[in-house]
Structures are given as structure tokens and as C-alpha cells.
């Protein structure tokens, strides 16, 4: 029987005026909320740092910004669970998430994993140590901003899921 713990990740865009007053800078901030585990054993997932993209100026053409798991803006998590168990880590929705601001949209795609887990494409694999810890799970992603992105707040809920493997 699988055990699992889901962590809703609320992402939003914050509007900041640039230093020169000529454009809008954006960054992505994520808030991770713990939910109780509804399965066999207790498992705790804690966020050590949120996924944060560098400021992006609204431009005439579409933009793509990639944040790798080794970058300083990658999301970082720690897991506490059953010692020596293997886990599968993934982000939902799996393929992409659409962030909205009125009719304007941006997409987060291509999640990638690093740190203490091995990236397997759509998911990552790791092993909890003798004390039941797996620290430094790192998550990166690609941000796709449309041309002339509307300034303001973009939001979407994402889920980080950690499942014990058989």
C-alpha cells in the first residue's frame, strides 16, 4: 500500500516597477502548505526556499526563462519519513501549469529535479537516510511569458507529491 503526502504550492506573480520606471519586473514566489497525511505513516515535507525566478521585464516578444535545480532560485524541500525507504517525487500538474492574470496567461513547464534526488524526467527518485531524512530536494522549472505580458498578479496552485516506492 502506497503512502503519500501532498503539498499544495500556491504561486503568484508580484508586480514591481523597474528602477528606471520603464517596464515591469516580475518574480515568482511560492507558498507551500503542509497537509495531513491520510495514509499509513507520518511523513513531513518542509519547504526550505520557494521557487523564485529572476525579475522579467514585459517585452514585445515572448520570453522563456529556465531555472535549473542547481540555481539559487530553485525550490528546496526536506522530507522526514520512514528510514531507508525509497521515494518518488513529482510535481502536479505534470506537463505544465497556466498562471493567469485576467485574460493574460503565463506557463510553467519542464519541471526538473536535483540535489539529493535523481531526475527521471517527469519525476525524481531518492532514498531517506537512516534517520528518515532526505534533505535538499531541489526543483527547477521553465517560465514561458507571452509577448506584452500584462502587469499584475498571476496565480496557480501546484502540488509537490512524495510517494514511498515499493
pLDDT of residue 55: 67
What global pTM score does this model have? Answer: 0.72
Q: Which residue has the cell 535549473?
A: 68
Q: Which residues of the chain have pLDDT under 70?
A: 1-42, 55, 57, 153-155
Give SS3 for 129: coil
Q: What is the DSSP string of 78-108?
A: EEE-STT-EEEEEEESSSEEEEEETTEEEEE
Domain boundary assignment for the chain: 4-164
Is CATH 2.60.40 the classification given to domain 4-164?
A: yes
pLDDT tens string 51-91: 877 767 677 889 898 999 999 989 999 999 999 999 999 98
Amino acid at each position: 500500500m502506497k503512502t503519500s503526502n501532498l503539498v499544495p504550492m500556491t504561486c503568484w506573480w508580484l508586480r514591481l516597477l523597474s528602477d528606471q520606471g520603464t517596464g515591469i519586473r516580475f518574480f515568482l514566489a511560492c507558498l507551500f502548505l503542509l497537509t495531513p497525511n491520510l495514509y499509513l505513516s507520518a511523513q513531513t515535507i518542509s519547504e526550505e526556499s520557494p521557487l523564485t525566478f529572476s525579475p522579467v521585464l514585459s517585452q514585445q516578444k515572448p520570453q522563456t526563462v529556465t531555472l535549473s535545480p542547481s540555481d539559487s532560485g530553485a525550490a528546496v524541500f526536506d522530507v522526514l519519513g520512514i528510514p531507508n525507504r525509497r521515494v518518488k517525487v513529482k510535481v502536479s500538474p505534470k506537463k505544465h501549469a497556466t498562471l493567469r492574470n485576467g485574460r493574460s496567461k503565463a506557463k510553467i513547464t519542464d519541471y526538473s529535479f536535483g540535489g539529493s534526488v535523481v531526475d527521471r524526467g517527469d519525476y525524481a527518485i531518492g532514498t531517506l537516510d537512516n534517520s528518515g531524512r532526505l534533505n535538499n530536494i531541489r526543483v527547477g522549472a521553465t517560465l514561458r511569458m507571452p509577448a506584452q505580458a500584462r502587469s499584475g498578479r498571476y496565480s496557480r496552485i501546484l502540488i509537490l507529491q512524495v510517494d514511498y516506492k515499493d
